[in-house]
Each structure stands twice: as C-alpha cells, then as structure tokens.
Amino acid sequence: MKSFRTLAAAGVVGALTLGSGLFADFFGMSDAEVCGQTLVARAPSTLSSSSNYAPAYSYAQQQGFATLPGYYSAPGFAPGANFTAKPFPASYGYAAFPANAYVNPYAQPAPYQVPYQPSNAQPSWPYTQTNDGQASVMLGRSELLGGPPLSSPQIQLPAPAPQSPHQHMPLQQAPHAMVPIQPMPSQQLQMQPVPGYGFDAYSYGGGSCDVWPGGYAAIQAQPAIRNWFGSFGAIVMTRDRGDHYTFSYGTGNEADQRTDTRNASMNWSVGYEIRFGRYFNCQRNAIEAVYWNLNPTSASTQTVSANVLGNLNAILNWDSLTYGGNTADIYVNVAPGDDGIHHLTRAYSFQNLELNLWQFCGSCSADKCGCSRLRHNWFMGVRYFRFDEGLLFASDANDTQITHENDEIFYNIDIENHLFGFQVGNEAQYCVSNRLSADFGIKLGIFSNQINHISEIGGNLGIATINNGPFLGEEYYVSSSKNDVAFLGEMNLGVRYCFNCNWTGTVGYRALAITGVALASDQIYPDLRGINDVANIDSSRGLILHGGYAGLEYNW
C-alpha cells in the first residue's frame, strides 16, 4: 500500500509538471516572462520619445545575451546582422528582453509588441509610478495565472538602473560558446579590372582593393561603386625603316647609290593618350573612348658632291622636264668642279580615335562570374586611324645649302591614309596579387582606307613641265585619291599597379601592324613623263608602328 501511495504521488507530480510545460509551450511564455513583458511595455522611458524614433537598445548592456567580443575589439567593425539593434519607429513598442532564467539559458530577441497607448483610466490592479518614468508593477497580476489574490501582501519591483547608451557593461560568459568570426585576409581580395590598358574596372571591372588597417578586409564588405574612369598617359613610338629608295649616285661608281629614304627613317616620337569611359550593367560592361597621337616628326639625310666618286648626279630622268626655261637636269646634276647637294626629308604623323564596348569577366574581388586569376575581357568597337607621310627631295647644283632660291628644285610627295572601320579584341589579365596584374591585349580590325595623294615638281620658278612624250606640256602636278581595304592589328603587353581604389598606374609595350596603306616612296614612277601612272596610287604596302606607353588612370 505504501508503494502504491508513493507511485500515485509521483504520478500527480509528473502530471502537474507535464501540464505546466504544455501550458508554457502553448502560450509561448512563462509567468515570469508575462510579468517581464508587462514591466517593459509600461516603461514610458523606453517607449516614449520626443524624436520620431525610439532610442536604440544595445544588447551588450543586457545580461544573458550572447555577443561576439571580436566585433568590438576590431576597429571599424559593428555587430553582425543578427546582433545589431536598430532603432524602430515609435509606434512599435520595441524593447530588449533580459534572459529568462526559468526556461532558456540565454535570451532570444522578442517580437514587436502591440503599440502602447497611455490612458487616463485607473488600472485594475495596484501599481506605482516613479518620477523618472520607470514603472514598477505589483505582482497581484499573478492572480490571473492562479496566484494569490490581490489582497496578498504587495511586493514592489525596483526600477531598472539607468543605462548609458554609449558604454558597454561587462559581458557575461554565455553558456553556449560562440565561434568567433575570423576576418578575411586581404590576400583573398584582388584588384579591380580596367578596360583597355588602363585599370579597372578596370580600376577595369568594378572591383575593389579596399583593405582595413592591419591587412584585413572588411567582412561582407561591398566594393565601392565607381562608374566613371579616365586616364592620361605618354607614349613614345617609332615605325619600321621601310624599303630602300635612292635618289643619287656618283659618276665614278654608279653602284654607290646615295640619298637613301631608309637613312631618313622615323625617329622616336613622343605623344599622349587620353581615355574616358563609364561602367554600366553592374560594372560588367563599359563604354570607352580613346584618343592618342604622335607629335609630327621628320627625319632627313643628304649627300654632298665631295662625298662621292666623280660628279654627283640624280638617278631619275630629270632631263625630260623643263623648269625655269631650262631642262631640269642642270639643277640636280652637279658639274665637275662645282659643289652641290641632294637633300631628302621625310615627315610622319599618326592619330588614333576609338569607341569601344567592353564586356568584363567580373572583378577580381567580387568574382562576379567565378573567374580565376587569369581572365579574358572582350570588346568590340569602331576605330579611326590616320597616317600621313611626306617626302621632299631638294637639289642645289651650285652650293651645299638649301635656301629655297631660284637655282634649287624640289620634288614633293604627300600621302594621307584615313582608315575607318570595325574592330574586335581581347585582353587577358593575370592577377599577380591584389594590386598587381599583367596584361596582354590584341585588337583586329578591317577598315576602309581613304587615300589622298599629291605629287609635284617645281620651286620658286613655278611647276616643271614635261618636254616630250604623250604628255608634252603637262605640268608635273598630280592630285588623286582612292578607297581601298586595309587591315590593322594591335598588340599590348604591360603591367598594371593599383595604388589605391582610385588611382592605377600602367606601363607597357605596344605594336601596330597595318597593311593596305600608301607610302610616299611607292608613288615615285621611274619615268618622270608617266604622270598617268603616278595618278594610280600604290597602296599595297604596310608598316609597323611600335613603342612604349605609361599612364595613370582614375576611377570615380
């Protein structure tokens, strides 16, 4: 019988325990939590504010809340998304809850509460109000949950101590250890790409090289949006020397030909380059305008009669022309015993204008499309390229100075190549580090070449005329033009260094190869009487232009 009573008592205790647990689970909170809610919800200092938003409540000031010490020890870091208390409109009765020691070993954020509306009506249970606005609630409300009646002795809860909004209370060790969030090493970040030969994005591609002090990147940091880019740089280039074409020889050794066009090849010429553009489509694309030119330059060579064996003579048949009432050969063939000079000057000019649409693989830091260290950026666009060349042969058979006097004759050729067409290209970019990358780019295009040409022989005494043959009496002045197909290819090999998130430096080597262009020396016909052949422009040649570039790019 005693065992039966013991078993019955244990069953009653178990039933009560199970019933209280089900009651708590059904209503979602215990009696202690109800009292705690009432206390906080009726606290005017928490809910009432003269501003539009209630003051932010700091979890770090409440006992029992698990926090991340690592966030507060690192400068510039704020609590994570799950632990950041944000201000809410005053219409929400939002306040933090202390830890519930009866149910859970740590507290959980409470849901938004029903807006509290102050009322002049008397409450249905005794309560007291302190002068500082903190509320105390009598425990008589426990009668609603089966507690003692209102006539029981009243116990007044003390008002919570004032909390400083800018100070952190000593943190308690949470029962459940939190795994600290480790900062991301800056080595995982890479530089942002940049179109063309300026940086990047890309600069080219919209990435970022932002790092926090100490070499660590911000957790979940988003790259700054920089939609515009521009660069300015210097270029220094020259062209290939081209073929030989000679104008002079010595009568004592006709094989010793002088005044060679190759001896007047282009020297190194300095120019500048400007780029300007804008990113769009989440910085996966960019529109870019590029302009560069080389300062017009010239080179010359000369032959004087004292440097040849025999007399200094010209190779072409100058005796077929009349100039100043005499055959033109007396102005170019130096008589025995006289001093004379043949002088050759070549002039060069280059200009380039492009409008390109870029497609980037993604930024190195954001890794927008899962690219590796080696990325390929594509583009297409339109391009205008102009190449001008001039050739001037001057002769004086009476002295060794060209002074543009009446005893001098000149042979002048001017060529303009205007290339306009469509091009495509690719830039391979290898990210060596988060700041340094190596670039290799190519461009290929097909162009329409509008060629303008002028050839003339004359001087102060006018234009020379043809004195025999089908074109007898015709002036030696030819102006002609034609359209032809040309191809242009460009290669760029360089490095790019990101100084910071706005400035990027570039340096490298560039080479252009052009076919289907007209050169000045190719417009010389061996018989000066054939002006009809001179009018037919020869555009079967090509040239190579190469050199270095260096510049600075700014992204904003």
Residues of the chain with pLDDT under 70: 1-225, 362-371
Last residue of a domain, one of 145, 165, 200: 145
Q: What is the pLDDT of residue 448?
A: 97
Q: What is the pLDDT of residue 162?
A: 58
Whether this prediction's pTM lies above 0.75 is answered by no
State how far the Cα of 335 lies from the Cα of 319, in Å rounded to an integer. Answer: 15
In a domain, 126, yes or no: yes
Give the distance, in angstroms, between the CA of residue 185 and the centroid of all CA atoms in the same chain.
Answer: 24
Q: Which of 292, 202, 190, 356 is nearest to 550 (CA)?
A: 292
Q: What is the pLDDT of residue 336?
A: 86
In a domain, 185, yes or no: no
8 A C-beta contact, residue 188 and residue 492 = no
8 A C-beta contact, residue 43 and residue 96 = no
Residues 6+ apart with CB under 8 A from 161: none
State how far the Cα of 475 lies from the Cα of 26, in Å rounded to an integer. Answer: 112
In a domain, 213, yes or no: no
In a domain, 162, yes or no: no
Indicate if 134 and 253 belong to the same structural domain.
no
Indicate if 140 and 273 belong to the same structural domain.
no
Last residue of a domain, one of 145, 170, 202: 145
Indicate if 279 and 398 belong to the same structural domain.
yes
Residue-by-residue DSSP string for 398-465: S-S-----TTEEEEEEEEEEEEEEEEEEEEEEEESSSSEEEEEEEEEEEEEEEEEEEEEEEETTEE-E
Pairing verdict, β 341-359 and 269-280? unpaired
Specify the number of domains making up the chain.
2
- Which conformational region is residue 225 in: left (phi greater than 0), alpha (psi within -120 to 50 degrees), or beta? beta
Where do we find the tokens 């309560």? Answer: 127
Helix or strand or coil: residue 38?
Answer: helix
Helix or strand or coil: residue 556?
Answer: coil
State how far the Cα of 375 lies from the Cα of 359, in Å rounded to an integer. Answer: 11
Give Cα separations from 155 to 34, 143, 160, 197, 425 (angstroms).
Answer: 16, 14, 15, 78, 83
Q: What is the pLDDT of residue 264?
A: 94
In a domain, 198, yes or no: no
Last residue of a domain, one of 145, 167, 188: 145
Indicate if 354 and 494 belong to the same structural domain.
yes
Q: What is the pLDDT of residue 284?
A: 86
Q: Which of 320, 340, 337 is nearest to 329 (CA)?
A: 320
State how far the Cα of 387 lies from the Cα of 242, in Å rounded to an integer. Answer: 15
In a domain, 369, yes or no: yes
How many CB atoms neighbour CB 169 within 10 A? 12
In a domain, 378, yes or no: yes
State how far the Cα of 364 lies from the Cα of 14, in Å rounded to an integer. Answer: 63
In a domain, 226, yes or no: no
Range of the domain at 380: 249-498+507-555
Indicate if 353 and 483 belong to the same structural domain.
yes
